[in-house]
Amino acid sequence: MRPLPEAQREVLAAIDQLPTERIELAAAAGLALAEPIVARHDLPPFANSAMDGYAVIAADVVNAPVTLPVLEDVAAGSVPTLSVTPGTTIKIMTGAPMPDGADAVVPVEDTEPGQREVRILAGVPAGESVRPAGDDVAAGTVVLNVGERLTPPRLGVCSSLGYARPLVRRRPRVAIMSTGDEIVPPETSQLAPGKIRDANRFTLRGALEEVGADVVDLGIVGDDADELRATFATAAASADVVVSSGGVSMGEYDLVKHLLAELGSVDFWKVAMKPAKPFAFGSLGGKPFFGLPGNPVSVAVAFEQFLRPALLHMMGSDKLFRPRLHGILEQDVKTDPMKIVFLRVNVAPGADGLLRAHLSGGQGSNILSALAAADAYAAIPVGVAEVPAGSMVELEMMKMPEARTAAEVTGG
Ligand code: AMP
Ligand code: MG
């Protein structure tokens, strides 16, 4: 059996980054930057008011209350035509440029506005409620680096700095198929004896969309050499990555193995992990191929440990693996000491604020309901046979974005 980190390293080493392209910001969510985002100007570009109020010279209002004549009103988007001179004020709205001469803003709440003057009720220190130019980002600063994925606030940063078409790596197109004579589509209203509805294609589609890939759904393929051959060929021709589920465990090994050998070079691996020990990886028609096991939980675990990091690597992301937090496992659990075991757990903070984890249901690799209910995988390392209740464990958080690099996880 291959240790998991070694298998992950091998997969990542075999996969190239996708080409770069410029893309409209509106379509860029989740993509990784292929250029740094450098501030071409100060942000904000000009000193402006943080409050609706009155721009003043702070020294004029130390002895508040004082009454000052209001020279003009400045709204956001317009510019002052006058300067604040000693003993005067200009009414200003949030985001409007500070008039020359003024060095502070008295919030409207601390005033009694009159017709052409205002009574200032409280003094303010110089600088109060003023956002200087470059307060957020100074011109020339590198705000975002190559490899950072465009989260919502990062999209906002790009827009603020005029990067309307940032350079990113394009989305991977991923072909998926479910294999097995027993698998029927979800629309099947009456299950014939021996048949089950397809889970994996939809688990995969959701996971692929979450990571930002485009999905090419090739449907369900029976355990039939000609059908499999044709579908694999279509997949390799129409996508950047080919993913199948089922058919890589011992029972069906031979059929798929021969076929894949005709179309490319694929290795059948036994990875020291549970679930998802059997796993096929290689290339089909020049495209990376991932043959995931058939059991629904194995599909999800193999996706998280191999496919998701590989796709993020193709997309140029600097982080590939989801974060691990520490928490206390509340149950006694026996695990396989020869493998890293990914237990499906619920996670919530206890009264002391520390994270507590408990099994979210049955731990068979077919128990999709327990995976659906889970928040995290408790990763029990190789060499551990029993985890007594109260042990501290590592929790790989299923719903948090990636936070760990390949080097951190695979050691190289
Ligand atoms: P296999 O790897 O093809 O031997 O499949 C292992 C187990 O996973 C079997 O019980 C299959 O019926 C089941 N399985 C395979 N593909 C799917 C699928 N797409 N949805 C749900 N279960 C599946
Ligand atoms: Mg099968």
Q: Which fold has domain 31-41+135-169?
A: Molybdopterin biosynthesis moea protein, domain 2 (3.90.105)
Of 257-261, 363-367, 385-389, which range is least confident? 257-261
Ligand 2 center from residue 224 Cα (angstroms): 11
- The SS3 assignment for 5 reads helix
Q: Which CATH class is domain 324-410?
A: mainly beta
Q: Which ligand is closest to the CA of 279, given by its number?
A: 1
> By the 8 A CB rule, do 396 and 340 touch?
no
- 214 pairs with which residues across the strands? 173
Q: Which CATH class is domain 48-131?
A: mainly beta
Contacts of 22 (CB under 8 A, 6+ apart): 165, 166, 167, 168
CB atoms near residue 226 (< 10 Å): 9
Confidence of residue 363 (pLDDT cuts 50, 70, 90): very high
For the chain, how big is the Rg over CA atoms in Å? 30
Judge whether residue 252 has pLDDT over 70: no
Judge whether residue 10 has pLDDT over 90: yes
**DSSP code of 204?**
H
Which secondary structure element, helix H or strand E, spans residue 215, and what is its range? strand 214-221
- Retrieve residue 192's tokens: 């014939």
Which of 177, 198, 200 is the pocket-test mutation for ligand 1 (most atoms within 8 Å of CB)?
200
**Residue of minimum CA distance from atom 11 in ligand 1:** 294
CA-wise closest residue to 247 among 264, 259, 237, 236:
259
Output the ligand 1 site: residues, CB below 6 A: 178, 180, 182-183, 196, 198-200, 245-249, 251-252, 293-296
**Residue of minimum CA distance from atom 10 in ligand 1:** 295
Helix extents (H) in 30-175: 152-160
Confidence of residue 199 (pLDDT cuts 50, 70, 90): very high
Q: What is the pLDDT of residue 253?
A: 67
Q: What is the pLDDT of residue 259?
A: 84
Ligand 1 atom closest to 200 (CA) = 19
pLDDT tens-digit profile of 343-357?
Answer: 999 999 999 999 999
Distance of CA 202 to CAs 115, 177, 199, 249, Å?
66, 10, 6, 21
The average pLDDT across 405-411 equals 96
> By the 8 A CB rule, do 374 and 368 touch?
no
Q: Which ligand is closest to the CA of 200, given by its number?
A: 1
What percentage of the chain exceeds 90 in pLDDT? 94
Q: Which ligand is closest to the CA of 292, given by its number?
A: 1
The average pLDDT across 322-346 equals 98
Judge whether residue 198 has pLDDT over 90: yes
Judge whether residue 29 has pLDDT over 90: yes
The average pLDDT across 358-374 equals 98
Judge whether residue 122 has pLDDT over 70: yes
**Residue of minimum CA distance from atom 17 in ligand 1:** 294
Of 98-102, 121-125, 213-217, 274-278, which range is least confident? 274-278
> By the 8 A CB rule, do 71 and 103 touch?
no
Question: What is the rounded distance in angstroms from the CA atom of residue 256 to the CA atom of residue 266?
Answer: 10
Q: Where are the beta strands (DSSP E) in 307-412?
A: 324-329, 333-334, 340-349, 355-359, 376-380, 386-387, 392-397
Ligand 2 center from residue 190 Cα (angstroms): 21
Q: What is the pLDDT of residue 328?
A: 98
pLDDT tens-digit profile of 147-180?
Answer: 999 999 999 999 999 999 999 999 999 999 999 9
- The SS3 assignment for 270 reads strand
Judge whether residue 412 has pLDDT over 80: no
The average pLDDT across 87-115 equals 98
Q: Which ligand is closest to the CA of 223, given by its number?
A: 2
Ligand 2 center from residue 206 Cα (angstroms): 21
Helix extents (H) in 239-346: 253-263, 296-302, 308-314
Taking the domain 4-18+171-314, which CATH number applies?
3.40.980.10
Judge whether residue 248 has pLDDT over 90: no
Ligand 1 center from residue 6 Cα (angstroms): 26
Q: What is the pTM of this model?
A: 0.95
The average pLDDT across 63-70 equals 97
The average pLDDT across 37-54 equals 98
Q: Indicate the domain borders of the chain.
A: 4-18+171-314, 31-41+135-169, 48-131, 324-410
Ligand 1 center from residue 384 Cα (angstroms): 29
Which of 196, 202, 254 is the pocket-test mutation for ligand 1 (most atoms within 8 Å of CB)?
196
The average pLDDT across 201-214 equals 98
Ligand 1 center from residue 256 Cα (angstroms): 14
Ligand 2 center from residue 246 Cα (angstroms): 5
Which of 220, 244, 245 is the pocket-test mutation for ligand 1 (most atoms within 8 Å of CB)?
245
If one compares 261 and 131, the residue with the highest pLDDT of the two is: 131
Distance of CA 261 to the CA centre of its chain: 35
Ligand 1 atom closest to 199 (CA) = 20
